[in-house]
Amino acid sequence: MKIYVISDNQATITGLGLASVHGHIVHTSEELNQAIETACPDAGLILITEGIARKSKDILNCFYPKKHLPLVSIIPDL
């Protein structure tokens, strides 16, 4: 299982990339949905920054109660 980060800024992707965390930069709800679909098959943990999570609460709310893996966690922006 892998760890993925989904963020709306390059600094978070670069910083976590140094720890071998794969990342996607997104700016819209549609891009977030595509990034989650891309990450889900082999992800154990998906980290999403607060900025993009605020914009896409509807996508994240339907994700939480139905899935055991991957674990989705919201992290602070840089």
| pLDDT tens digits, 19-64 | 999 999 999 888 988 888 888 888 889 999 998 888 877 777 666 6
pLDDT at 67 over 70: no
Half-sphere exposure of 78 (CA within 13 A, CB side): 12
Sheet hosting strand 22-25, strand order edge to edge: 22-25, 2-7, 43-49, 71-75
| pLDDT tens digits, 5-18 | 999 999 999 999 99
Q: Which residues constitute the domain of residue 32?
A: 2-75
pTM score, whole prediction = 0.84
Distance CA 36, CA 24 (A): 9
Domain count, the chain: 1
pLDDT classification of 68: cutoffs 50, 70, 90: low
**E strand or H helix that includes residue 50:** helix 50-55
CATH number at residue 17: 3.40.50.10580
Distance CA 18, CA 38 (A): 21
